[in-house]
């Protein structure tokens, strides 16, 4: 019986070390209502290495889109941007700057139109073209 208890204690200790050594999985950035009341997420782009996410939101009551780029882990100010335009136009609505948590919100009235949108965190820029038409 003593040998059994000793083996059980060694096994429990080994399992505890293995479990304690596991890192918690990285969590993606979460939209936190930065665009305001009535806006719901309709699309998103995740940055590599879990840097963050750019969210495209829409407000059904007023036909406005809103874009916000959110870092997964806030930190020292870094170059960030959130941008959007109606597909086929040349001018972007954007919010470039050095931010600790998020860039935006950036609004655009585009009911019934396709939009190009995206964001920047550090040196990575991601863009989605001609999406969310209607």
Residue 28 counted as domain residue:
no
What is the span of the domain harbouring residue 104? 40-131
Beta strand segments in 12-134, E: 40-46, 52-59, 64-71, 78-86, 93-94, 97-99, 102-109, 115-121, 124-131
Q: What is the pLDDT of residues 78-94, one digit of tens each?
A: 999 999 999 999 999 99
Q: What is the pLDDT of residues 25-72, one digit of tens each?
A: 455 799 999 999 999 999 999 999 999 999 999 999 999 999 999 999
Residue 21 counted as domain residue:
no
The number of domains in the chain is 1
Residue 12 counted as domain residue:
no
Residue 54 counted as domain residue:
yes
User: What's the CATH code of the domain at 101?
Assistant: 2.60.40
């Amino acid at each position: 019986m003593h040998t059994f208890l000793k083996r059980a204690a060694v096994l429990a200790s080994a399992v505890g070390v293995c479990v304690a050594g596991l890192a918690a999985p990285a969590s993606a950035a979460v939209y936190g209502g930065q665009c305001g009341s009535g806006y719901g997420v309709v699309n998103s782009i995740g940055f590599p290495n879990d840097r963050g996410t750019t969210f495209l939101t829409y407000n059904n009551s007023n036909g406005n889109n809103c874009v916000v780029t959110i870092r997964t882990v806030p930190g020292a100010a870094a170059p960030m941007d959130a941008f959007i335009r109606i597909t086929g136009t040349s001018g972007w609505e954007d919010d470039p700057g050095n931010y600790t948590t998020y860039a935006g919100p950036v609004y655009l009235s585009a009911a019934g139109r396709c939009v190009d949108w995206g964001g920047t965190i550090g040196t990575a820029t991601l863009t989605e073209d001609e999406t969310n038409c209607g």
